[in-house]
Structure 1
Amino acid sequence: MEDILVNLGKQLKKVRVNKNLSLKQVAEMSDLSIGLISKIENFRTTPSLPVLLKIMQSLEVDLSELNLSPNNKEPYVLIKKGEGTVEEREDSRGLEYNFLFSDSIANSNLRLYIINVKKDVYREPISTDAIELLYVINGKLEYILNEEVIKLSEGDILFFDGSTPHALQNKNTKTATLLKLYMIQKNSY
């Protein structure tokens, strides 16, 4: 559900920008505040149905014209370095928010590690009871998920369900360093 709401805000912002409308113009047309529209566009609040309808009427857009479905069709999320989306936030000047992804995760314990993967290392496939996120701090390596080889480099992020059999290998001449986050469901232990 959260992805749909995130996409709703992004899609409304995209329509506004494509129509060369400022937040102020949409606020005046919809009789809403600039701050509220900004919060909706940046998923800081969920609009009520009447508010959503006012914005859509101001933008002259129909709900069926918006792409609200999550874009990910793979059993994992891979974010290559530089692929995030910079979100402009009028109330956070001087801060650059680079949106990478979102997912609803509740009732989890977190474990965070720095992992050094030495050269010429191969770890056999394993499964865990965790959702896993890894960020390549430096170096290059390959992750294997269900026999699909995913090449990772510095700055890449991989997010996946750890119950999927996964292996890793470093065929390179240097050690690779990862930041790894395990989100373990509380009912799994």
Structure 2
Amino acid sequence: MPKTKTKSDPNLGPRIRKRRKQQGLTLQALCDKAELSVGYLSQVERDNATPSLGTLAQIAQALDVGLEYFISTPKPEDSLTRADKRPQFSIAGSSIVYESLGAALPGAELSSYILHVPAGYESEIVHHEGEEIIYILDGEIEQTLGGEVFHMTQGDSLHYSGSTPHSWANRTDQAARILWTGTLNVLHRKDAIRMPTPMAANDNV
């Protein structure tokens, strides 16, 4: 079993706790997945114990990230994305394509995507922790926030709390693109389907 903490990365425990909460896991759920005791993992998250490399690998696997997520220091170039090489994916059952702008920085809270929204798309009503900012790059979007409807066109933006019930729709016959930034991470969803190549801005999906 890993030893009591002496000197180590003071951010390791908070990074693990933050990632666990991003994944919606309780401490017990993470312990079950990583095959660790609640008491020990609680000490790790409070930086009162330092996990061995093997134990940290178990935690990383249970949190659906690589070991480097906790032990590597990203280089500035790791955060650069090129327009023609950005990762793209879709969620099973959805016609929207997400283009990832953010980097997997240890402990990062923000996520950012370009959403390619086909004509006629309408989302479900959702609410969750965190906050969101949307900026309309192309096309038109009808955003409903707390029962109030906002008709948004190119250049418009909206910043709101995720706890407010919200939904949006593209009621036109043209595709739209939205720049989305927030604290809700969809990149690691297990039902994500990677796209083979970047799509053009005006493609319907």
Q: TM-score range by the shorter chain?
A: 0.3 to 0.5
More strand as a share of residues: 1
Name the TM-score, length of structure 2 as normaliser: 0.36
Name the TM-score, length of structure 1 as normaliser: 0.39
Larger radius of gyration: 1
More helix as a share of residues: 1
